[in-house]
Amino acid sequence: MSNYPGVTVEKKTGYLKNVDGSRIRVHDLPGLYSLIPKSLDDKIATDILFQRLEDSSHLKLVVVVADASNLARNLYLVTQIIDLGLPVILALNMFDVAQKNGLNINVAELSRELRIPVLPIVANKQKGIPELRNCIFDIISRETHEVYPKEWNLGDDVKNAVKPIHSWFLDNSNLGEAACMAEAMRVLSNDAALEHWIIHSSGSSYNCGVELNMLVKKARDELMGKNIPWRMYEAKVRYEWIDEICKKTISEGKARHSLTEKADQILTHRIAGPLIFIIIFAVIFQAIFSWAEMPMGAIEDFISWFGDKVALVLPDGILKDLIVDGAIAGVGAILVFLPQILFLFFFLSILEDTGYLGRVAFIMDRLLRPAGLSGRSVIPLLSSFACAIPGIMATRTIQNWRDRIITIMIAPLMSCSARLPVYTLMIAAFIPNKKILGIFSVPGLTLLSMYLLGIFMAVNAAYVFKYFVGRREKSSTFVMELPPYRRPSLRWTVLQMSLRAKLFVMNAGQIILAISIVLWFLASFPKPENPELMKPSEAIRQSYAGKIGKFIEPAIEPLGFDWKLGIGLITSFAAREVLVSTMATIYNVEGSEESSVSLRDAMRNDRDPVTGKPIYTPLVAISLMVFFVLACQCMATVAVVKRETNSWRWPLIMIAYMTSLAYISSLIVYQGGKFLGF
């Protein structure tokens, strides 16, 4: 499982159960490299560890999950947390990878040196997890806890210089003796740590922060006068101790293989890497269409059967129409696409678990650099392929203000899973299923092109924003450690798919159900005076929904959209996939005299009452998909942007530029296609 910056950006809380049924509350914090907060996600983790928040005031134990194959780097954070005076457990994850890389770690000796429990684990194979659980509950159950912070040998000159700062922390913080010394050493040697404590202490007293700043400046001047380098002094002292520990506890043997290095020479190659990326995703989208066809058909048949059965049980009237044509038709139309969404997350989980998504981040980093973005923007953009909301939240890892704003503004251009039902509906209904090279099909490549279009437009939008947002600021540097390749965990993959299915059904389902009911009412009322003399298609045109659609039709007609799609565009602001349920509700109300309507067939067979020509064509389908690639059709995303930027300025700019971009691009596609004779 990935744990590079951007994967976890906020605290997640759950419960850990013991074999006897007892349980404890657990906080999963964003990953850290040190206790100096450099971004918003770092601050969340450090505030919990320093017990500054109410729900962390009873912190009993810290479990540090470290990469065993890169232990020296991870021990830096471990030594800092030990100094806080809390009980600590060090869990050495990916212990099998460390052994394959030729690292022999003496776990018992490491535990003695650090004076904390150290446990080797392989999380994706559940190895060592029972022992870790037992150790956690054993420590929690103790009434008293013995902790052994490191007594740092600073030398007389440094110790005398740090002493006033140490006293300040004793008087102005709730930290213990060892933690105060560690913080004194940290603010002495790092400007970011000093600035953080000045800001934190200014809430209680302005003079308090000023006093700390003066004490640190005096100590630095004193050390400079004695030619003692103070900058990064904490890192120097800690790594001297860490090097001693590593010499005693780690021996390097011969690595069994270097599969990762050999594979990366090809997969991250400047030319071959992007081509392989496109081929892999082309295969994925082809598989999504091929594998999902059977379960989608089964769900579609079940929804139709269920709707017919309910229609037979209920008496004729408004309640029957509401349930069958509104709720069942609307929600059922979206559930049909659940298999494709699950397959998409199946493949994304496999790519993440194998370590390939880290390589995708590396490839995209090369693409984004010319646009002025830091590599830290890559992970939020990748996260946006699942949903723009966690992608935007993942920008908390970006220190540079300009880079963060630009990343937030382009993240919704990544095609999220909510757009997939719209793409699939249009492709399945109007794109011919022709084979290319005997492997790929036109529908699969069409779906891939929608995702690539989003990436292409995001990069170009970043180029434009670069000249308007913080032009004087330079991009921050970013170094990402690529995870090693490993065999994917079926258990983890299934867990991810089940979580995504639950979120999709529960969250999207509630919105879709509510909108389907409202839309059914708008499409069914007012009732015509002589319904028996009027066709259902004409009745729906005279309904509230029909009047709304007809009102906006002149604005969207140049894009190839009719009044029905116009209603769908309006309702899809609640959630992009609502367009599908909207069309299903309209067509089921319109065809209420028949059994449940297949949406794909209904849209294919819909004809203009005047000309008799199809209303929807492949060109209209492509125009609509292009519109949905680029439009900001999600109010939840807008709300998150407002929260993350603490301003309405950026959400309004996002709505304006994305809507304009979508309209112009769709207009060019449709009118250009008509001009070329399509």
| Tens digits of residue pLDDT in 543-566 | 899 999 999 999 999 999 999 999
Q: What is the 3-state secondary structure (H, E, C) of 591-657?
A: CCCCCCCCHHHHHHHCECCCCCCECCCHHHHHHHHHHHHHCCCCHHHHHHHHHHHCCCHHHHHHHHH
Count up the domains in the chain and report the number.
4
Banded pLDDT at 662 (limits 50, 70, 90): very high
Residues 208 and 341 both lie in one domain? no
Separation CA 25–CA 509 (nearest Å)? 30
97 in helix, strand or coil? Answer: helix
Q: What pLDDT does 329 receive?
A: 86
Whole-angstrom Cα distance, residue 299 to residue 301? 5
> In whole angstroms, what is the distance from residue 231 CA to residue 190 CA?
6
d(CA 321, CA 388): 35
Q: Which residue has the higher pLDDT, 50 or 556?
A: 556
Which are the contacts of 59, defined by CB distance < 8 A and separation ≥ 6? 48, 49, 51, 86
pLDDT score of 419: 93
Query: What is the token pair recorded at 313?
Result: 């049980």
Task: Calculate the alpha carbon distances from 612 to 558, 605, 606, 615 in Å.
Answer: 19, 10, 9, 9
Q: What domain range includes position 630?
A: 505-675
Same domain, 161 and 26: no
Q: Among the listed ranges 24-28, 60-64, 121-125, 612-616, which one has the minimum average pLDDT value?
A: 121-125
* Mean pLDDT to the nearest integer, 31-49: 83
Of 141, 176, 202, which residue constitutes the final position of a domain? 141
pLDDT of residue 1: 40
**Domain end marker among 197, 219, 252:** 252
pLDDT of residue 397 exceeding 80: no
Same domain for 457 and 326, yes or no, is: yes
The CATH number covering residue 79 comes to 3.40.50.300
Q: What is the pLDDT of residues 439-458, one digit of tens each?
A: 789 999 999 999 999 999 99
Query: Contact, 581 vs 516, CB < 8 A?
Result: yes
Instruction: Name, in order, each residue with C-beta under 8 angstroms of 519's C-beta and a sequence gap of 6 or more.
Output: 326, 330, 545, 567, 571, 582, 585, 586
Q: Which residues contact 445 (CB under 8 A, 6 or more apart)?
A: 282, 285, 286, 436
Higher pLDDT, 253 or 561: 561
- Euclidean distance between CA atoms 499 and 542, whole angstroms: 42
Considering the domain architecture, whether residues 226 and 305 belong to the same structural domain is answered as: no
**Three-state SS annotation for 50-90:** CCCCHHHCCCCCEEEEEEHHHHHHHHHHHHHHHCCCCCEEE
Where a domain ends, among 218, 252, 286? 252
- Say whether both 363 and 459 belong to one domain: yes
Stated as kind and residue range, the H or E segment containing 23 is strand 23-28
Same domain (yes/no): 66, 168: no
Asked if residue 73 and residue 45 are part of one domain, the reply reads yes
To the nearest 10°, report the CA torsion of 95, 98, 100, 104: -100
Q: What pLDDT score does 471 carry?
A: 66
* Higher-confidence position of 501 and 272: 272
Is 659 within a domain?
yes
Question: Is pLDDT above 90 for 144?
Answer: no
Q: Do the domain assignments include residue 265?
A: no
| 3-state SS, residue 92 | strand
**CB atoms inside a 10 Å sphere around CB 296:** 19
